[in-house]
């Protein structure tokens, strides 16, 4: 039997994984390899499911789980709010500061610096100060950024403020996604969390458009929108302080007596980790012995080194970068395209709301669709539909028709991101899954800066109509990248019950 090792040195036997490959371990300082006789009366034995896999008996208190998820939903709402803010205000910002498309697009480059910084420091920062404090620090970065932007500062300072906003948003996105994968029912929770992102992105154009109007009451007051954003960020920060109380992730789980799915708590082996690892490891005998050692808990440097050495993780990160780039390019430039190329008026900002509203609905609907259709294959269908609709926008000139197409593009693009995260959680080794998902999420946010900037550069040279051929090319590349992602992980995802 494989023993469940507690921090006090006691050993609790886990149910046999196989009769011919069992080991007993007891962890004691200075005596890591000592074996002990198992206790027959285990409270944490792994019951066997019909599919032969094990499941931990530890259950998370539903009230605590709802509180945690409410905080995660809040930060995802703020992420969507932040991502969709610039689009409806872009023309007003450009007009106020009297800058060209390429210059105003530097906003996205400064955001990229922040997102990239978040991708690099995420694992180190979380290991250094803990999960709860890292979340509060990240949200505080956004509070500072919105405060600067609300003051309508000189353009260089307005540009620079997008960097701390990117750091804060990138870290929260990474930490939120990572936390969800540790909870039971992660697939549905992931979809709902990203639906909250869509809700935030849906609501913000409705608000920003009011401040972007060229009316006597609102003329020159576009920056007031950032005061509203500041209020949303302050509420988010207060919620994170109250819910997580600056505590480390493992402490939060230990207080509830909960064993995180696919993760480790302190220096012990948990049921979910063992089960997930066995499903995704070619040599199960070696894995059981290897994971039983407390040395399997990796330091932040080693985790990051192993993540950087994984071609699969880099490939998914590239897919994430492209996907988020498509999403935010549409949200950021669709309004400008409708105004400049299609002759739209002040209400054109609602086009962005339609797109992000579709994004939100698509992620909710996918929860039901995923029960009947293979998630990893339906990505091809979603991408193909989005590609066809983008070509329709390119070749037609009706404002209403274009707006409807954008809404349906959001509907089919929405489910792809949570599906990508679910595939990653199922394929990557458990001890790396948290860091890998954080890296993928943070690097994906870099796409929300790079591709909108490229769009601005092309618009400055060829006109804003260049948005459409660029998006068509990006969607085609997205479909090809997904095919490579599935090919590289084909042996692992076939052995998981989710896919």
Write the pLDDT tens digit of every residue in 183-213. 888 888 888 998 999 899 899 988 888 887 7
Write the pLDDT tens digit of every residue in 53-67. 334 446 778 899 999
Please give the model's pTM, rounded to 2 decimal places: 0.72
pLDDT tier at 214, thresholds 50, 70, 90:
low
Handedness of CA 494, 478, 179, 306 (dihedral sign): positive
pLDDT tier at 298, thresholds 50, 70, 90:
low
pLDDT value, residue 32:
41
Average pLDDT of the chain is 79
pLDDT at 286 over 60: no
Contacts 24+ apart (CB under 8 A), 382-388: 382/412, 382/413, 382/415, 382/416, 383/412, 383/416, 383/475, 383/478, 383/479, 383/482, 384/479, 385/412, 386/412, 386/413, 386/475, 387/472, 387/475, 387/476, 387/479
Q: Which domains does the chain have, with CATH numbers?
A: 63-250+304-493 (1.20.1250.20)
pLDDT value, residue 70:
95
- Count the residues in the chain: 499
Rounded to whole angstroms, the Cα distance separating 83 from 483 reads: 27
Rounded to whole angstroms, the Cα distance separating 42 from 60 reads: 19
Asked if residue 153 lies in contact with residue 97, where contact means CB atoms within 8 angstroms, the answer is: no
Asked if residue 118 lies in contact with residue 171, where contact means CB atoms within 8 angstroms, the answer is: yes
Any idea which of 39-43, 144-148, 287-291, 489-493 has the lowest mean pLDDT? 287-291
Write the pLDDT tens digit of every residue in 3-27. 444 444 444 444 444 444 444 444 4
Can you read off the two tokens belonging to residue 73?
């939903």
Can you read off the two tokens belonging to residue 43?
């409270």
Any idea which of 133-137, 250-254, 302-306 has the lowest mean pLDDT? 302-306
Rounded to whole angstroms, the Cα distance separating 381 from 372 reads: 14
Three-state SS at 100: coil
Can you read off the two tokens belonging to residue 149?
């932007």
Write the pLDDT tens digit of every residue in 376-420. 789 999 999 999 999 999 999 889 999 999 999 999 999 999 889
Any idea which of 34-38, 184-188, 230-234 has the lowest mean pLDDT? 34-38
pLDDT value, residue 217:
61
pLDDT at 441 over 90: no
Write the pLDDT tens digit of every residue in 80-132. 999 888 888 888 899 889 998 889 889 988 988 998 898 888 888 988 999 99
Rounded to whole angstroms, the Cα distance separating 162 from 165 reads: 5
């Amino acid at each position: 039997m494989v023993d469940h090792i507690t921090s006090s040195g006691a050993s609790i036997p886990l149910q046999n994984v196989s009769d011919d490959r069992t080991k007993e371990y007891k962890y004691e300082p200075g005596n890591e390899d000592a074996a002990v006789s198992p206790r027959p009366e285990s409270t944490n034995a792994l019951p066997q499911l019909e599919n032969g896999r094990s499941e931990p008996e530890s259950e998370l208190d539903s009230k605590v789980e709802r509180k945690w998820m409410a905080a995660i939903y809040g930060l995802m709402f703020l992420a969507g709010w932040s991502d969709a803010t610039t689009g409806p205000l872009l023309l007003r910002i450009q007009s106020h500061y009297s800058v060209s498309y390429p210059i105003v697009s530097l906003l996205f480059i400064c955001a990229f610096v922040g997102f990239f910084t978040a991708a690099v420091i995420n694992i180190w920062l979380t290991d250094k100060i803990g999960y709860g404090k890292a979340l509060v620090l990240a949200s505080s970065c956004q509070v500072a950024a919105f405060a600067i932007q609300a003051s309508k500062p000189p353009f260089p300072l307005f540009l620079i403020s997008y960097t701390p906003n990117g750091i804060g948003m990138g870290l929260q996105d990474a930490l939120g996604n990572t936390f969800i994968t540790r909870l039971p029912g992660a697939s549905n929770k992931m979809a709902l969390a990203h639906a909250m992102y869509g809700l935030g992105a849906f609501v913000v154009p409705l608000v920003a458009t009011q401040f972007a109007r060229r009316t006597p009451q609102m003329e020159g007051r576009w920056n007031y929108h950032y005061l509203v954003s500041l209020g949303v960020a302050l509420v988010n920060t207060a919620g994170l302080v109250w819910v997580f109380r600056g505590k480390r992730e493992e402490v939060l789980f230990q207080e509830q007596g909960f064993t995180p799915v696919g993760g480790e708590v302190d220096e012990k082996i948990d049921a979910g980790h063992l089960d997930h690892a066995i499903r995704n490891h070619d040599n199960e005998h070696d894995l059981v012995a290897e994971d039983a050692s407390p040395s399997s808990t990796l330091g932040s440097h080693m985790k990051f080194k192993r993540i950087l050495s994984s071609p699969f993780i880099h490939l998914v990160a590239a897919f994430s970068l492209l996907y988020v780039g498509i999403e935010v390019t549409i949200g950021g430039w669709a309004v400008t395209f409708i105004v400049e190329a299609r002759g739209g008026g002040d209400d054109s900002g609602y086009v962005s709301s339609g797109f992000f509203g579709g994004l939100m609905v698509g992620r909710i609907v996918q929860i039901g669709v995923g029960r009947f259709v293979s998630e990893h294959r339906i990505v091809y269908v979603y991408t193909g539909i989005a590609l066809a609709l983008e070509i329709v926008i390119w070749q037609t000139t009706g404002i209403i028709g274009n707006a409807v197409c954008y809404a349906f593009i959001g509907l089919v693009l929405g489910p792809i991101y949570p599906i990508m995260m679910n595939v990653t959680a199922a394929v990557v080794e458990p001890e790396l899954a948290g860091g890998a998902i954080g890296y993928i999420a943070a690097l994906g946010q870099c796409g929300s800066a790079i591709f909108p900037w490229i769009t601005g550069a092309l618009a400055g040279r060829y006109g804003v109509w260049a948005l459409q051929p660029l998006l068509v090319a990006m969607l085609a590349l997205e479909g090809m990248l997904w095919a490579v992602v599935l090919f590289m992980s084909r042996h692992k995802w076939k052995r998981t019950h989710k896919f």
